[in-house]
Amino acid sequence: MADKKLVEAITSMEEDFAQWYTDVVKKAELIDYTSVKGCMVIKPAGYAIWELIQKQLDERFKATGVENVYLPMFIPESLLQKEKDHVEGFAPEVAWVTHGGLNPLQERLCVRPTSETLFCDFYKNDIHSYRDLPKVYNQWCSVVRWEKETRPFLRSREFLWQEGHTAHATMEEAEERTIQMLNLYADFCEEVLAMPVIRGRKTEKEKFAGAESTYTIEALMHDGKALQSGTSHNFGDGFAKTFGIQFADRDNRLKYVYQTSWGMTTRLIGAIIMVHGDNSGLVLPPRVAPTQIMIIPIQQKKEGVLDTAYALRDRLGSFRVKVDDSDKSPGWKFSEQEMRGIPIRVEIGPKDMEAGKCVICRRDTGEKLETALDELETKAGEILERMQKEMLERARAHRDSHTHIAQNMEELQDVLDNHPGFVKAMWCANQACEDEIKEKFAATSRCMPFDQEWVGDRCVCCGKPAKKMVYWGRAY
Amino acid sequence: MADKKLVEAITSMEEDFAQWYTDVVKKAELIDYTSVKGCMVIKPAGYAIWELIQKQLDERFKATGVENVYLPMFIPESLLQKEKDHVEGFAPEVAWVTHGGLNPLQERLCVRPTSETLFCDFYKNDIHSYRDLPKVYNQWCSVVRWEKETRPFLRSREFLWQEGHTAHATMEEAEERTIQMLNLYADFCEEVLAMPVIRGRKTEKEKFAGAESTYTIEALMHDGKALQSGTSHNFGDGFAKTFGIQFADRDNRLKYVYQTSWGMTTRLIGAIIMVHGDNSGLVLPPRVAPTQIMIIPIQQKKEGVLDTAYALRDRLGSFRVKVDDSDKSPGWKFSEQEMRGIPIRVEIGPKDMEAGKCVICRRDTGEKLETALDELETKAGEILERMQKEMLERARAHRDSHTHIAQNMEELQDVLDNHPGFVKAMWCANQACEDEIKEKFAATSRCMPFDQEWVGDRCVCCGKPAKKMVYWGRAY
């Protein structure tokens, strides 16, 4: 059965989830490895997903007043070193440019791992008066972090992202923007990627280098591991004081600005794979599927079949639709369409044509139904909408059924080892307990959720009075 | 007159064109300088132009079957060195990464100056059979060239661009794609940027490092200097042989692929400035104007004025429209709108409201006309369309009136020194003459135009029989 080859080529997720993931990214032709260790090629099928993410995220940004800019990819060493916590967080993992052309540089430049320092250097000259505020800028670019262990989309030495950097007249306004962007990220994940997330705040230990507070959205992958999917940071006036970013306020007094930054990355493509994928490959939520409908002609050499397929494609022009008219067998085409996660397959052959019908097959459930040709457009629209909704519901049900409560260290270990997923447990807010949990169980605090539904009164680790409910988990 | 300050702040173009250019990029808030020498910040007003260029160019690409991808920004030294001509062309001007984190790298990586070598390395593994061809890939990214002299948009150490890289089964198909993309570029410049270009082929001396032939579009700036605005290269099977990119053809024989590459950059923004700008600042063709219409309320504190302005904005929703409701004076707002090159200004005050009218002012001609409020949408659409068309016509007339013919070296020198612009002159196709012209007059062969309208029979330099008509010029 040549038709089964493509599917058999991937490991089942129950057998080896990591290998399943690697197989899917390769067989769905999302990426390729390169001669540059830790860097990947994002192939057309992968990049088209990123383009859809970019477009929809960018529209949401702009609706809140965000303006796009572009800053240099290089940061002079002295600039990176200005903010103490920040440089400690990033210096060990940056790539250094030491030569330009044939000459050594007077000062090393790092390839940006993130651009807080550059934005500060820019804002220092660009902001003078309260009239110049707020600045709500964003850039789409690539960044570099010299990771030792890399995995496609999840952790690579170079990745694509957007980084928003804002400056405000007051702390309240900065905090409001920080939360606004986190909620925008969460809504985007749920509405577009069909991926439910927990919204919360990072502990002191886990917050961003240089931030006063870091907010995060955390998603649960199919294997029960957590994935940090977007973060939003409030810097207070810390960076502004270090870099000297001041403005003349309405009262004519010079004040420091308050800043935020927030980012999402190509890691989201890894999240889509691990939340929705199955043993036939990728499953794409319709809103980020580069091809939403693949029309596969049956017995395409028979007269009129291809023409009918093309006519259906034209009739479905309000969707992202293609005809697979290659000379492969229909079975092979089915496997390919499934592997690539295309939401809907339409099968059309001579018998269907005679009956004025076609077969629709839904990627996520495998459900098949016959449809009259003249109802195809309506039906396809309905199915795509239902699929988007049900994929979110299924992911939420999976997340909820893989979220447990632990009251003490024994329960915590039991859940982590035997029921992979999120663990809700109370915490005394002391970093020693967080360290102990990380050391003993290789689990981290994912966030202190906004929704502080207390599941006990005592710290899961030390038993002292609890201050916060925390989501714990093993994470990518 | 505070209202005039903004305009007075720029040097007149007749007085000092280079300073005028620098003033415009700064005062129109397109860029800012940075702590990284030779690298710039592209500010919102500049980046929004790039986004409009990207969007419209990308749509045209996709209509010809182009797919977007993303390749790493780093190239291992050994990979860059594989193709002899290519490395000689680029090695002197690349930035080298020598350390990752705290450790020296085993092999230096350069930051891509262009990605031919990476695409070859990728295609080598990705192409096996004639079924895998053609590959018509493109990426939007930034590249780095360690230039000594830099100018905003025209020549900077890092710039944004797109680079298309294709692979084909035959030389004919590669040549066809090379020319197709050059024509696409030329049409884009004319239809979107209102900028006429000469389409032609580069001489051997001026062609791209490693290419078999390079095609170019050359535009003429307001000061009579030429600007290379886009190039398209045919590599034949040269790179394929060096990198071993082979495919099994229909006849089962292993053959080398034929490759092309083509690119346009943020330099186009510099071209827009220098083709259309005037002594009041930037003048944007409507199709790349981030704001097409600026509504400026007069006596905005009077009752109903701002509300009317907002209502007009909503009615003009099919355009990119804004209201300037800041607390600056109308005169200052006029100057700002002019400096930023916004195509149409709509003035609306209490008297206009009473009369059911408003004033439209066209940026390129300064022409003012009164319009009934309920005809504004139609009128604005007509004016934008006419402006787009007339800006192209004016630029073409300027180009044509600044294009001269030279029959010998005396005439060539006279034209270059006293009538800056393109010079059409015959050439024997011998590089010695090209070298001599460059050395004596600092002018280069811009291209051998497709349209080979001979202007004589003898080489402008040596007087021997001519083989080609060439456009010569001093260039950016």
Question: What digits encode the pLDDT tens for the residues B330-380?
Answer: 999 999 999 999 999 999 999 999 999 999 999 999 999 999 999 999 999
Cα separation, A311 vs A307, in Å, equals 6
In chain B, which residues have their Cβ closer than 8 Å to the Cβ of A96?
97-100
Q: Which of A421, A405, A422 is nearest to A466 (CA)?
A: A405
Confidence of residue A88 (pLDDT cuts 50, 70, 90): confident
* Residue B282 in domain: no
Q: Which of B294, B270, B293 is nearest to B282 (CA)?
A: B270
Q: Are B268 and B193 in contact (CB under 8 A)?
A: yes
Looking at beta carbons, which pairs linking A174-178 to residues 24 or more positions away fall under 8 Å?
A174/A234, A174/A235, A174/A236, A174/A258, A174/A259, A174/A260, A175/A234, A177/A134, A177/A136, A177/A260, A178/A213, A178/A215, A178/A232, A178/A233, A178/A234, A178/A260, A178/A262
* Residue A345 in domain: yes
The pLDDT score that the predictor gives to residue B88 is 87
Q: How many residues does chain B have?
A: 476
Q: Are A467 and A434 in contact (CB under 8 A)?
A: no
Cβ neighbours of residue A210 under 8 Å, at least 6 residues apart?
A83, A85, A86, A89, A116, A235, A238, A239
B17 and B128 part of one domain: yes
Domain boundary among A350, A383, A416: A383
Percent of chain A whose pLDDT exceeds 70: 98
**A97, B97: Cβ pair inside 8 Å?**
yes
Q: Which two tokens stand for residue B79?
A: 């990979």
Query: Is it the case that residue B1 has pLDDT exceeding 50?
Result: no
Q: Which of B41, B71, B102 sits opposite A69 (nearest CB)?
A: B41
Confidence of residue B86 (pLDDT cuts 50, 70, 90): confident
Give the H or E element holding residue B95.
Answer: strand B95-100
Residue B356 belongs to domain spanning: 293-383
Nearest residue in A to B95, CA atom: A100
Distance from the Cα of B104 to chain A's closest Cα (Å) equals 9
The pLDDT score that the predictor gives to residue B87 is 86
Cα separation, A442 vs B93, in Å, equals 46
**A158, B74: Cβ pair inside 8 Å?**
yes
B143 and B185 part of one domain: yes
Q: What is the mean pLDDT of chain B?
A: 96
Q: Which of A73-87, A263-277, B313-327 has the lowest mean pLDDT?
A: A73-87
Q: Name the residue with tokens 């000459």.
A: A103
The pLDDT score that the predictor gives to residue A84 is 85
Query: Is it the case that residue B328 has pLDDT exceeding 70?
Result: yes
**A47, B70: Cβ pair inside 8 Å?**
yes
Condensed to tens digits (0 to 9), the pLDDT of residues B387-396 reads: 999 999 999 9
The pLDDT score that the predictor gives to residue A2 is 44
Residue A467 is classified by DSSP as -
Q: Name the residue with tokens 């940061």.
A: A75
Residue B284 is classified by DSSP as -
Confidence of residue B9 (pLDDT cuts 50, 70, 90): confident
In chain B, which residues have their Cβ closer than 8 Å to the Cβ of A44?
67-69, 137
A419 and A338 part of one domain: no
A84 and A169 part of one domain: yes
In chain A, which residues have their Cβ closer than 8 Å to the Cβ of B40?
72
Domain boundary among B383, B413, B448: B383
> What are the backbone dihedrals phi and psi of residue B19, each rounded to the nearest 5 degrees, phi first?
-70, -40
- Tell which of B31, B54, B99 to mutate to test the A interface (max A CBs under 10 Å): B99
B150 and B253 part of one domain: yes
Cα separation, B446 vs B442, in Å, equals 12
Query: Is it the case that residue B97 has pLDDT exceeding 80?
Result: yes
Q: Are A71 and A118 in contact (CB under 8 A)?
A: yes
**B44, A75: Cβ pair inside 8 Å?**
no
The pLDDT score that the predictor gives to residue B7 is 56
Q: What is the CATH number of the domain that holds A132?
A: 3.30.930.10
Q: Which of B34, B69, B109 sits opposite A121 (nearest CB)?
A: B34
Condensed to tens digits (0 to 9), the pLDDT of residues A278-319 reads: 999 999 999 999 999 999 999 999 999 999 999 999 999 999
Q: What is the mean pLDDT of residues A259-276?
A: 98
DSSP B31-75: EEE-SSTT-EEE-HHHHHHHHHHHHHHHHHHHHTT-EE-B--SEE
Q: Which of A268, A327, A329, A340 is nearest to A27 (CA)?
A: A340
Confidence of residue B92 (pLDDT cuts 50, 70, 90): confident
**A44, B67: Cβ pair inside 8 Å?**
yes
Q: Which residue has the higher pLDDT, B5 or B274?
A: B274
- Tell which of B40, B49, B67, B71 to mutate to test the A interface (max A CBs under 10 Å): B71
Q: Which of A34, A73, A93 sits opposite B158 (nearest CB)?
A: A73
Nearest residue in B to A73, CA atom: B158
Q: Are B122 and A41 in contact (CB under 8 A)?
A: yes
Q: Are A263 and A212 in contact (CB under 8 A)?
A: no
Task: Give me the numbers of helices (H) and strands (E) for chain B, helices first please.
Answer: 15, 23
- Tell which of B59, B69, B138, B160 to mutate to test the A interface (max A CBs under 10 Å): B69
**A39, B72: Cβ pair inside 8 Å?**
yes
**A98, B93: Cβ pair inside 8 Å?**
no
Q: Which of B47, B70, B94 sits opposite A42 (nearest CB)?
A: B70
> What region, left, alpha or beta, does residue A199 occupy, with left being phi > 0 and alpha being psi -120 to 50 degrees?
beta
B269 and B173 part of one domain: yes
- Tell which of A62, A97, A121, A291 to mutate to test the B interface (max B CBs under 10 Å): A97
Q: What is the mean pLDDT of residues B170-196?
A: 98
Cβ neighbours of residue B418 under 8 Å, at least 6 residues apart?
none
Cα separation, A340 vs A361, in Å, equals 14
Query: Is it the case that residue A8 has pLDDT exceeding 80?
Result: no
Cα separation, A103 vs B95, in Å, equals 9
- Tell which of A33, A47, A140 to mutate to test the B interface (max B CBs under 10 Å): A47
Query: Is it the case that residue A5 has pLDDT exceeding 60?
Result: no
B318 and B464 part of one domain: no
Q: Which of B40, B94, B97 sits opposite A96 (nearest CB)?
A: B97
Condensed to tens digits (0 to 9), the pLDDT of residues A343-366 reads: 999 999 999 999 999 999 999 999
The pLDDT score that the predictor gives to residue A86 is 82
**B43, A141: Cβ pair inside 8 Å?**
no
* Residue A285 in domain: no
Q: Are B184 and B60 in contact (CB under 8 A)?
A: yes
* Residue B241 in domain: yes
In chain A, which residues have their Cβ closer than 8 Å to the Cβ of B69?
41-44, 47
Q: Are A380 and A319 in contact (CB under 8 A)?
A: yes
* Residue A282 in domain: no
What residue type is assigned to position B459 of the chain? C
A333 and A440 part of one domain: no
B358 and B434 part of one domain: no
Q: Which two tokens stand for residue A258?
A: 């308050």
Q: Are B50 and B267 in contact (CB under 8 A)?
A: no
**A92, B111: Cβ pair inside 8 Å?**
no
Query: Is it the case that residue A177 has pLDDT exceeding 70?
Result: yes
In chain A, which residues have their Cβ closer than 8 Å to the Cβ of B39?
72-74
In chain A, which residues have their Cβ closer than 8 Å to the Cβ of B107?
none
Condensed to tens digits (0 to 9), the pLDDT of residues B247-279 reads: 999 999 999 999 999 999 999 999 999 999 999
What residue type is assigned to position B446 of the chain? R
A212 and A258 part of one domain: yes
In chain B, which residues have their Cβ closer than 8 Å to the Cβ of A144?
73
* Residue A288 in domain: no
* Residue A457 in domain: yes
Domain boundary among B350, B383, B416: B383
A83 and A142 part of one domain: yes
Q: Which of B76, B98, B101 sits opposite A35 (nearest CB)?
A: B76
Q: Which of A42, A72, A144 sits opposite B39 (nearest CB)?
A: A72
B261 and B312 part of one domain: no
pTM given for the model: 0.96
In chain B, which residues have their Cβ closer than 8 Å to the Cβ of A43?
69
Q: What is the mean pLDDT of chain A?
A: 96
> What are the backbone dihedrals phi and psi of residue A364, each rounded to the nearest 5 degrees, phi first?
-75, -35
The pLDDT score that the predictor gives to residue A309 is 97
Q: What is the CATH number of the domain that holds B433?
A: 3.30.110.30
**B72, A121: Cβ pair inside 8 Å?**
no
Q: Which of B39, B96, B122 sits opposite A41 (nearest CB)?
A: B122
Strands of A91-186 (E only): list them: 95-100, 103-111, 135-144, 158-168
The C-alpha R_g of chain A, in whole angstroms, comes to: 25
* Residue A351 in domain: yes
Query: Is it the case that residue B3 has pLDDT exceeding 70?
Result: no
Query: Is it the case that residue A46 has pLDDT exceeding 70?
Result: yes
Number of domains comprising chain B: 3
